[in-house]
């Protein structure tokens, strides 16, 4: 059984408005995200973790969508890892694998979720990632270049990230016990010394962070729908 935790508890301060409810085509960003997991055959349940002040709005969206897989709409915590742990507490006891996905990545496809899940079952942990293609430089405090970074073997982490439930639970227990801050689940699992397989992705799966990202997502979605 695969349970999916959709993390929608970020503040969205860099956008200047609530990015999750911004319209992408004719639906809010978060509606596209939830729809992808709703349509993924391997996903048995969805736990949506949002900001406390948005729970009513999120529940209304879920009701309007007629979701059959969203079991809980709950409040997250101050940090991402707090929100994921809150989601983990609501995962069904029989769930063997857990997927974590950013609500602000609305372009994810069911086939991508299935592929990551397939490899997570084989290796215990797998995550979608994009190979770095840009030239990377280090800079000092005054923004002057101090050197380059070899991009060979470098990836930008994406979601979904899927793990055996036991592994993810142990990872989050360890970072909590040692007061370690992590920005994604791969980092938590790395802290245990466990291996995570990266699944290279060359399709659009951007995270809506800045206003320009919404325009890019809109363009990518229209192209996808017309092909």
Domain at 73, CATH number: 3.90.550.10
Specify if 137 maps to a domain: no
Specify if 150 maps to a domain: no
CA distance 156 to 147: 20
Specify if 135 maps to a domain: no
The whole-model pTM stands at: 0.94
CA distance 53 to 189: 30
Average pLDDT estimate for 63-72: 92
Average pLDDT of the chain is 93
Specify if 57 maps to a domain: yes
Specify if 6 maps to a domain: yes
One-character DSSP codes across 3-38: EEEEEE----TTTSS-GGGSEETTEEHHHHHHHHHH
Q: What percent of the chain has pLDDT over 90?
A: 85
Q: Note the pLDDT tens digit of each residue in 121-179.
A: 999 999 999 999 999 999 999 999 999 999 999 999 999 999 999 999 999 999 999 99
Specify if 151 maps to a domain: no
Which of 24, 55, 33 shows the shortest CA–CA distance to 103? 33
Which of 186, 170, 215 shows the shortest CA–CA distance to 178? 170
Specify if 85 maps to a domain: yes
Specify if 78 maps to a domain: yes
Q: How many domains does the chain have?
A: 1
Which of 33, 27, 102, 108 shows the shortest CA–CA distance to 70? 33
Give the domain extent around 69.
Answer: 2-126+156-226
pLDDT at 130: 95
Quickly state the pLDDT bin for 89 (edges 50, 70, 90). Answer: very high
């Amino acid at each position: 059984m695969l349970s999916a935790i959709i993390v929608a508890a970020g503040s969205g301060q860099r956008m200047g408005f609530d990015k999750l409810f911004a319209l992408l085509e004719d639906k809010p960003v978060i509606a596209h995200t939830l729809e992808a997991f709703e349509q993924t055959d391997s996903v048995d349940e969805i736990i949506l973790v949002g900001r406390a002040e948005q729970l009513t709005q999120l529940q209304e969206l879920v009701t309007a969508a007629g979701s059959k897989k969203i079991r809980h709409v709950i409040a997250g915590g101050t940090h991402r890892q707090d929100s994921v742990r809150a989601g983990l507490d609501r995962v069904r006891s029989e769930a063997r694998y857990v997927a974590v996905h950013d609500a602000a990545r609305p372009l994810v496809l069911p086939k991508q979720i299935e592929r990551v899940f397939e490899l997570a079952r084989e290796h215990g942990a797998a995550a979608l990632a994009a190979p770095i293609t840009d030239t990377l430089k280090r800079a000092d405090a005054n923004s002057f270049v101090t050197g380059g970074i070899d991009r060979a073997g470098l990836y930008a982490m994406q979601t979904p990230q899927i793990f055996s439930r036991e592994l993810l639970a142990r990872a989050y227990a360890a970072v909590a016990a040692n007061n370690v801050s992590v920005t994604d689940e791969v980092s938590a699992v790395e802290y245990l010394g466990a291996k995570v397989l990266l699944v290279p992705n060359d399709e659009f799966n951007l995270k809506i962070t800045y206003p320009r990202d919404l325009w890019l997502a809109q363009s990518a979605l229209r192209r996808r729908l017309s092909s």
